[in-house]
Amino acid sequence: MDPEGLKEGKILLEIVILSLLLILEAWLPLFKERKERLRHGSRNIAMGLMNGAMTGFLFSGATAFITEAAEFQGFGLLHWIEIPFWTEAAIAIFVFDLWMYLWHRANHQMPFLWRFHRMHHSDPQLDVTTALRFHIGELTLSSLVRFGILYLLGLTLWQLILYETILLPIILFHHSNVALPERWDRLFRILLVTPNMHRVHHSHFQPETDSNYSSIFSFWDRFAKSFRRKEDILTLHYGLDAFEAERWQSFLGLLVTPFSPAQKE
């Protein structure tokens, strides 16, 4: 399978899904009458574009090199077992999603990692653009650690891009402000992370923030006993109390968030 074709398809899919969800958020919003939606979304999208350019420049070549080196050397879990092509792809997606759960949980439990990750959580108005709002420091740390994981697992480049292609629409959707009926949400979250599940994770109340870490498959939280639900989603208060001031919501404020002495609230 052609990694370049998958990569181009992933970018197109992201643009299409983001656009559709922005329209749905205006048509069927969960939280209504939000102020300065355009300004809020533009800032998050700008952060996402900057991050995409920087991580692409810094890490795309190294990622290709490491995955190709593992494949050439026959190193890594997936190169040590002989299984059909699509079975191997399914295992790659499954195991890498477990890694994503563990890494996300570490970002909440290790103070140094939380300093960078809290910029994502400081958004007081969760919507689809929040899925693009990450600190470049967090993405750099994630990329560096991921090199070792890719090598140990033996993921190929196309398997990684396939995982990201599946991941993107799901994380865009579960960050969105679209009002999905609870009965549908409950059905989908048997397998996948849904909006109501992830909304709890963005609560300003720390026991709720420190729950529901899964990215694609919701069952990791159930297995690890980190799953949490909320009866009335409309009572949620998003963001972090220490970063509610407007100065922290500016583009510069987002960039300097990790360097503030404020800790978890």
Neighbour-count burial of 32, counting CB atoms closer than 10 A to its CB (0-12 exposed, 13-18 middle, 19+ buried): exposed
Q: Is residue 192 situated within a structural domain?
A: yes
Q: Is residue 265 situated within a structural domain?
A: no
Report the pLDDT value the prediction gives residue 10, as an integer from 0 to 100.
83
Collapsing DSSP states into helix, strand and coil, what is residue 29? strand
d(CA 33, CA 50) in angstroms, rounded, equals 29
Q: Is residue 8 situated within a structural domain?
A: yes
Q: Could you tell me the pTM of the whole model?
A: 0.94
Note the residue count of the chain.
265
Q: Is residue 135 situated within a structural domain?
A: yes
Which range of residues forms the domain containing residue 8? 3-259
Report the pLDDT value the prediction gives residue 225, as an integer from 0 to 100.
98
Closest CA to 3 of 121, 73, 89: 89
Q: Is residue 264 situated within a structural domain?
A: no
Q: Is residue 226 situated within a structural domain?
A: yes
Q: Work out how many domains the chain is built from and give that number.
A: 1
Q: Is residue 170 situated within a structural domain?
A: yes
Report the pLDDT value the prediction gives residue 263, as an integer from 0 to 100.
54
Closest CA to 193 of 163, 173, 208, 211: 173
Contact yes or no for 76/178 (Cβ under 8 A) = no
Q: Is residue 20 situated within a structural domain?
A: yes
Local confidence pLDDT in tens for the 265 residues of the chain: 666 677 778 889 999 999 999 999 999 999 998 888 999 999 999 999 999 999 999 999 999 999 999 999 999 999 999 999 999 999 999 999 999 999 999 999 999 999 999 999 999 999 999 999 999 999 999 999 999 999 999 999 999 999 999 999 999 999 999 999 999 999 999 999 999 999 999 999 999 999 999 999 999 999 999 999 999 999 999 999 999 999 999 999 999 999 998 654 4
Concatenated DSSP letters of 172-213 = HHHHS-B---HHHHHHHTTTB--HHHHHHHTBSSHHHHTS--
Report the pLDDT value the prediction gives residue 1, as an integer from 0 to 100.
61
d(CA 133, CA 254) in angstroms, rounded, equals 9
> How many CB atoms are closer than 10 A to CB 46?
15
d(CA 209, CA 104) in angstroms, rounded, equals 12
